[in-house]
């Protein structure tokens, strides 16, 4: 299996674009915490070795690569809150986080490569959606590493404020121990009330 490369970036360059950003988000599946997106414009002359889909890398390796990217690439990270997720749904919130991450790049990109099969409706830049983009495009792989690293750090911080849910280990995903803690300790302000395991606990007393 080969890893991600610069084929999509090269095609965009050939089409006349010069500042190409890769975008990815992490955190659609958890029942707690925000959804986080990163946008990255790589410097072709300074691409860290070993960039790959963040899911294929250890946490330690992601931390090293994230630090390298912060040093040698243009990076922007943004979130959509739990309240926004509950209000507009997780897909729209994920896209909102992507739009915010892109808006944080200065100067702005002129072309965007997006992980997934949908382009955020609020995006005005030329864009291409790439299914499994984090395994195909180095720019998207870089964004996936940054987004995952930042969100994991955030969940570790929240775990100190709300101990017992195991967020430092599960990052807010609905693990068996997390769901058990939800029953025993109750719902925190960081739980997504529109997500079934949380919703069921909140409303089981009304049935």
**Can you give the residue range of the structural domain that contains 67?**
7-206
In a domain, 22, yes or no: yes
In a domain, 121, yes or no: yes
Q: Please give the full DSSP string across 65-127, using - where no structure is assigned.
A: HHHHHHHHSEEEEEEE-HHHHHHH-HHHHHHHHHHHHHHT-SSPPSEEEEESS---TT--S-E
127-130 sheet: strands from edge to edge: 74-80, 35-41, 20-26, 111-115, 127-130
Mean pLDDT of 105-118: 96
DSSP tally for the chain: helices H, then strands E: 8, 5
pTM of the predicted structure, to 2 decimals: 0.95
Task: Tell me the C-alpha distance between 40 and 52, whole Å.
Answer: 14
Beta bridge partners of 36: 26, 79
CATH number at residue 97: 3.30.420.10
Task: Give the DSSP H or E segment for 187.
Answer: none
> Reduced to 3 states, what is the DSSP secondary structure of residue 23?
strand
Percent of the chain with pLDDT over 70: 98
Sign of the CA dihedral running 160, 100, 117, 69: negative
Model confidence over 136-156: pLDDT tens digits? 999 999 999 999 999 999 999
In a domain, 1, yes or no: no
Mean pLDDT of 81-101: 97
Model confidence over 155-174: pLDDT tens digits? 999 999 999 999 999 999 99
Per the listing, tokens 């302000």 go with 189
In a domain, 2, yes or no: no
Q: How many domains are there within the chain? A: 1
In a domain, 84, yes or no: yes
Model confidence over 24-71: pLDDT tens digits? 999 999 999 999 999 999 999 999 999 999 999 999 999 999 999 999
Phi first, then psi: what are they for 35, rounded to 5°? Answer: -100, 135
How many CB atoms are located within 10 Å of the residue 42 CB?
25
Task: Tell me the C-alpha distance between 151 and 194, whole Å.
Answer: 20
In a domain, 195, yes or no: yes
Q: Are 102 and 111 within 8 A, CB to CB?
A: no
In a domain, 129, yes or no: yes
Q: What is the DSSP code (8-state) at residue 174? A: -
């Amino acid at each position: 299996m080969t890893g991600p490369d610069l084929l999509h970036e090269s095609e965009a360059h050939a089409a006349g674009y010069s500042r190409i950003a890769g975008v990815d988000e992490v955190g659609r599946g958890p029942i707690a915490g925000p959804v986080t997106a990163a946008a990255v414009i790589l410097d072709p002359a300074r691409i860290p070795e070993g960039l790959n889909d963040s899911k294929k890398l250890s946490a330690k390796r992601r931390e090293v690569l994230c630090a390298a990217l912060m040093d040698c690439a243009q990076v922007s990270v943004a979130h959509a809150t739990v309240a926004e997720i509950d209000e507009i749904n997780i897909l729209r919130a994920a896209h909102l986080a992507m739009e915010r991450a892109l808006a944080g790049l200065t100067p702005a990109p002129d072309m965007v490569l997006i992980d997934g099969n949908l382009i955020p409706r609020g995006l005005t830049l030329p864009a291409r959606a790439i299914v499994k983009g984090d395994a195909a495009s180095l720019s998207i792989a870089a964004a996936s590493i940054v987004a995952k690293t930042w969100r994991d750090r955030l969940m570790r911080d929240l775990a100190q404020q709300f101990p017992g849910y195991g967020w430092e280990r599960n990052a807010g995903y609905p693990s068996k121990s997390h769901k058990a803690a939800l029953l025993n300790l109750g719902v925190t302000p960081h739980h997504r009330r529109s997500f079934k395991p949380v919703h069921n606990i909140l409303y089981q007393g009304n049935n």
